[in-house]
Amino acid sequence: MENRGQKRMEDVEELPADKRACNSQDSRTSTSSGSSAQSHSQEEEANGASSGHENTEDAEMDTSSSDSPSSSHSDDGEQVKEEDSDYGTCYSDDDDDDDDHGEDPRHQELQDVQYGRSSEDQQKLTSLVSRLSEEVDPSLQLIGLTELCEVLSFCTEDSFSTVMADTLSRVLVKLANHESNADIMLLAIRAITYLSDVYPRSVAFLVKHETLPALCQRLLTIEYLDVAEQCLQALEKISKDDPVACLNAGAIKAVLSYIDFFSTSLQRVAVSTVVNICREISSESPSPFMDAVPMLCNLLQYEDRQLVETVAICLTKIADQASQSPEMLNQLCSHQLIHQSIHLLNLNGRTTLSQPVYNGLIGLLRKLSSGSTLAFRTLYELNIGYRLKEIISTYDISHSVSSTHPNNSCSNQVHEVLKLVIELLPSSPVEDNQLALEKESFLVNQPDLLQQFGADMLPVLIQVLKSGANGYVSYGCLSAIHKLTCLSKSADFIGLLKNANILSVLAGILSRKDHHVVVVALQIAEVLLEKYRDAFLNSFIREGVFFAIEALLNSDRGQQNPVSADVSQKPVPEEVVKCSLCQSFERSSSSSSQNCKIEKDSVYILATRIKERFFGPEVFDSQKGLTDVLQNLKHLSAALNDLMNVPVDARALHDEKFFSIWNQIIERLNGKESVSTFEFTESGVVKALTNYLSNGLHQRNFSKGDPECDSLPFVGNRFEVFTRLLWSDGEATPSLLIKKLQNSLSSSENYPIVLSQFLKQRNSFATVPNGRSTSYPILRVRFVKAEGETCLRDYSKDLVTVDPLCYLDAVDHHMWPKVHLKPLDSVEAKDQAMECQSSQLQSTSISCQGEGSSHMEIDGPNASQLQGSQEEDQEQLTDSGEENTSEENNTSSSEEEDALAEEDPLPRLLFRLEGLELDRSLTVYQAILLHKLKSASETTNDSKLSGTHAITYERAPQLAESHETQIPLGSIMDNDEYHPFLSYLFAHRLGLRHIGTNAPAYDILFLLKSLEAMNRYLFHLICHERINAFGEGRLDNLDDLRVEVRPVPYAEFVSSKFTEKLEQQLRDSFALSTCGLPPWFNDLMGSCPFLFSFEVKSKYFRLAAFGSQKVHHHPQHLSSSSSHGEGRQATGSLPRKKFLASRENILESAAKMMELHGNQKVVIEVEYSEEVGTGLGPTLEFYTLVSRAFQNPDLGMWRSDRSSFAGKPKEDSGFLVAPSGLFPRPWSDTSAAFPDVLQRFVLLGTVVAKALHDGRVLDIAFSKAFYKLILGQELSSFDIHFIDPELCKTLVELQVLARRKKVFSESQSDSGAAKCDLSFRGTKIEDLCLEFTLPGYSDYVLTPYSANDMVNLDNLEEYIKAIVNATVYNGIQKQVGAFRSGFNKVFPIEHLEIFNEEEVETLLCGERDLFNMNEVLDHIKFDHGYTSSSPPVQHLLEIVHEFDKEQQRAFLQFVTGCPRLPPGGLASLNPKLTIVRKHGSDSSETDLPSVMTCANYLKLPPYSSKENMKEKLIYAITEGQGSFHLS
């Protein structure tokens, strides 16, 4: 065992005895005892039966915790072997074996040895059987049985024959029935266990010779506990091969009757036996199982996770078979099964039980409710609605319903909950359905229960709909709401519906293109109008529901089911999806009934009926149907538009009028009569406000010299005024506006999700752009010359395969030499090129076929047709000549093409699809997708791309202005005071193509981005406004410059709908394997990343930066055993490299590590000199030590003062603890130490990037300003507030004096300027005796002045600019550049720009809050003698809670190797923190806690008192640092 802290060798016995980091050999267990081996085997098999989800690491840690001598010997021996390995070797799971076993003589020799051993075992067995069958002396029988068990534990199946198995079975059964000698019984039953395991065919003979009754009898009348334990193991083995015989023999009752007498591991074996028998349960005769239900229900109360999971599986199978018998279901309910199941469905149960078992319990309740009135009534009486609400509201919706497996309940928690909810809301019963009549009668007689159920479920169902759930979840939620609306008769239900804003949600649903959800939404609307017309009639108008219905009637959606615009696409796969949606929430979806329930004209019929029955024609009049609120907001929008006609430089007039208009808008938004989402969106306020604030620039690409650029300073002033108005009363008003915009965005956006559920990934070959094999489907394209195009060659006769992930520029590069009219030198050369290329393509295609099908495979009835057509196309492709001309076989053409490309970087071809130009900034896949999905549903599949696409080409216009590149804003707005804000606002703007596809959403997105920028630069904008006010004389006291405004919490900008959409897309296999996301995801992530949650941005970041295999892994999950690399198969992993580090020279070791492996796609594991520990723990500690080494003040990297030092001065100079975080120290280029500082920043950048790549957590606190520089943002004088608040305060006060002097100098005479107060808190500037040196750094001279120059009122502004320049510009520019260059060695730093500063800190350094004591129990695993209620565990949690922050950090480092938790906190720690009972010496009071850092595994002795535990724990934490050793 590795242990830490060999600092006091004389006290080594008192130190933590076995704290260690695991290596690859730690999982081996002792096999010296046959019985022990069988016990382990039984336990592992029980685990496999009940919790197949558990990873192998948990199992390894369980077995390696034993302190047997053989285990210790194994560890020591393996360590010797480990020391011989070279550092830096690459470990891989797919090492090739070069030996050919068929020809290797050693293989033949091994076969001979095995054959000889089998013959020898067979002779031994024959002899033993003969002796045992004849022997009557008990002592000799014992000797024979002992020898038999030893032989059976090592022999193989080849050692047996059926005759021998029959004879041996008969002998062993006879001895197992020996009544007078318990040892004979024990060994005989053990031999039966071994025999069943090594020769499964012997089970039939054992059953024939009445083994089962004998075993069951021993369990029903326990005389000897060890005999009963062996009987359990024997029955478990036999039940695997003959469960029916075990059932008939009464094995279920036998193994469960006295289960409490056995240990936890044997209890698992007993329940596993029941699971094996349950496999053969029959719906015709489930009665034997019913006798076991009371005992199984009792076991659900146990604390052992594996046991409870196995019991839950048993009960689920029993309920499945009893589902057709209401009597048996009632019997199940009578044994408190529902009570126990609901108890497990609490919040802690989710972390205790595996996901499939947890979902299975929900399904169990649904099955009981479906067939039993008693269960139905019990669930309502137990307030099941509250529990289900808790599950949905706390469960991350992003992990709900797998789109590719909509009916797989085991992987779908929300789907199961919705099924249960729908089952608890019965439809109108059929007259002969007695069960449905009883259920409805119960709800009629108990209206309060239904009201409570609705109050619990309705709000959370509405929230799920708002979150952007996919079609299956949306359909289930709407179906549940529809049933609830039909059943409810209480007036209180009206209030619930209004509070949940049901009509606003319906209006958004009606704009969707999936007929299933639209029909259910219309049904809900009809029921509401029928039952509560007076209450909802006006709201139907205000929320826009009737206008949505009118839009339905006027669109093709109201006429017929949607049909793809692609004529080559067959409609069958789409219909299959819809039919599966129809059946997804039925009790039993019959495979024979796949007809879609939605009739062709259902939408039109329903919409027409609602319009005619409940509303007159005057409502749909464009003016009469408008509410007063909407008309008023329209007038204010018009007034805001009129303000655009006022000259842009008339600031005072603009400010006055805008102030008046905005106050009226806010008064209306905050009025007694609330403004609905529909009214807010339709009023045009968003468009008018966006247009006014940006002066129309948000819809334009502008460059230097454009007239629009002259208005940028005025745009900055408008945003400054708007910020002051918006935050005048705190953050309540901006929060209200953000909420309104989020609701409007959710209702108006229609960005599609593309799922590849119909495409199976196969190896394919793409001719375009340069002939390559792909692991994903290809596109089939026919390039057609545009009509009227005379300068290009026709290419339409040939069909080509195109790599969907290449950009259109690559297609241009490939197509141009084939379609331009410049002929080849000769016909002979042309024919030769064609022949050569054709043969090459044929050979390439054949090689691809050898690995796997090169065709895209499509599920569905029409798959064969599509496949056949594709094969024909491939044949045409192979036979064609021109299109197969490639660069390798036409060197002259290639060189000419490259030269032409260098001379003319502009595109030469323009591509169109169905008349619309394709966007060249996208891949071919994205460009076609963007075009195809304009008329498709929000959630669709990419089988739309499986047909043939006709793309026209023509010569591109060779005009430079048509391809202008946007000039960075910095070159347009040099030295402008609003530059940082406007640079951030207009950088990464949403693609202008979105204006044409979704103009309302574009305006909303830009206004949201503006508000987020204002919130981000709130301190800057308010400070700037105060400085101007002071300079103009509106403020006189320097203390009035203090800014005390609070920004809006960042979480309010996150859109749950967009987050869920991206989550769904990231779960798609094609998107992950190819990074082929729909283009709008990349656009929004680049321009509006604040719309997405940190978790989903982290997944997107890992996809973009590292490739598809790291998307679903949390950074901490990317341990050496589970990390995956870019471009590798899902079953593979990144190779690992070991590196030997020195604790004494940690930075030198880090530099050497980065030099060797920094730019490699490998995961680094660290070992230390003269220490044997390796694995996750030492590696995490290495990054912690490197982090602290970089904070050494002697390195000269960071701003500091002597008061910011921490550490032990006697040992070293300590490390910096900057209150505002670390920020680069300004250096002059002429300093001799500067080159070394730059090299350290290069190393720091590489270490930070490698830590991100490998998923390691750093322990270093950068300042917010430094994070902004990392993200490529510009700093201003106001950012000094995040570096040195006192310096910033002083600079602002000096700046307002310079500003006041400038204003008065420009507006008045010199005498007037002299009269105004230009002193600094009563002191003249000259009397401050300021020199032109950087404060705190006297060696840094502020150029162009000298150090002897003094600051006065005339040069004060230059002095301020020089300080700002030295602090955040030139003084630190090269250091930041060095950091970024080092970072880019690992992966491009631009991938981080989707995060804000706080998120980057979390990504690098983990969570600030170490322990949330309310959630600790949810995320800690207890095992090997401990449960959550064990007194030592309770003491430990109390101690950790009482620790201060530094003690908690030390505890974390002791257990995990790192003093910080990964992003996501304790819940994301992988492996999960495990606490087990430490079995040591007889006196546990003197033992110390020990850990295995590779598994986050704490071994805690059972101390008798909390005080003693705290003392020992602190001692172990303090002294157990600094090394990893074996004991």
- The catalytic residue positions are 1494
* Measured distance CA(816)–CA(798) in Å, rounded: 15
- Residues 723 and 981: beta-carbon distance below 8 Å: no
Question: Residue 805 contacts by C-beta under 8 Å, 6 or more apart in sequence?
Answer: 774, 776, 923, 924, 925, 1074, 1075, 1076
- Please tell me what DSSP assigns to residue 839: H
* Measured distance CA(1387)–CA(1391) in Å, rounded: 8
From residue 175, alpha-carbon distances to 135, 144, 172, 223 in Å are 11, 11, 5, 16
* Measured distance CA(637)–CA(644) in Å, rounded: 11
- Residues 380 and 372: beta-carbon distance below 8 Å: no
Burial grade of 1351 (CB within 10 A; 0-12, 13-18, 19 or more): buried
Question: Residue 637 contacts by C-beta under 8 Å, 6 or more apart in sequence?
Answer: 683, 684, 685, 687, 688
Q: Which residue, 1253, 1249, 1275, is CA-closest to 1264?
A: 1275
- Please tell me what DSSP assigns to residue 32: S
Copy the structure tokens of residue 771: 């002939």
* Measured distance CA(638)–CA(657) in Å, rounded: 13
- Kindly report the number of other CB atoms within 10 A of residue 767's CB atom: 26
Secondary structure string (H, E, C) spanning 980-1020: HHHHHHHCCCCCCHHHHHCHHHHHHHHHHHHHHHHHHCHHH
For residue 1303, the SS3 value is helix
712-750 as b/e: b if 16+ CB within 10 A = bbbbbbbbbbbbbbbbeeebebbeebbebbbbbbbbbbb
Q: Amino acid letter at 939?
A: T
User: Helices (DSSP H) in 424-544: which residue ranges?
Assistant: 434-445, 447-466, 471-487, 492-499, 502-510, 515-542
Q: Checking DSSP bridges between strand 1497-1500 and strand 1473-1477, what pairing results, if any?
A: parallel
Q: Checking DSSP bridges between strand 799-802 and strand 1163-1168, what pairing results, if any?
A: unpaired
- Residues 172 and 191: beta-carbon distance below 8 Å: yes
Q: Amino acid letter at 865?
A: Q
* Measured distance CA(498)–CA(537) in Å, rounded: 12
- Kindly report the number of other CB atoms within 10 A of residue 72's CB atom: 16
Torsion of CA 632, 635, 637, 643, to 10 degrees: -140
Copy the structure tokens of residue 513: 């293109």
* Measured distance CA(1344)–CA(349) in Å, rounded: 69
Report the residue count for the chain: 1527
User: Helices (DSSP H) in 852-939: which residue ranges?
Assistant: 863-879, 891-903, 924-932
- Residues 203 and 241: beta-carbon distance below 8 Å: yes
Burial grade of 1336 (CB within 10 A; 0-12, 13-18, 19 or more): middle
For residue 869, the SS3 value is helix
Partners of 1262 in beta bridges: 1222
Copy the structure tokens of residue 333: 């309910």
- Please tell me what DSSP assigns to residue 89: P
- Please tell me what DSSP assigns to residue 820: B
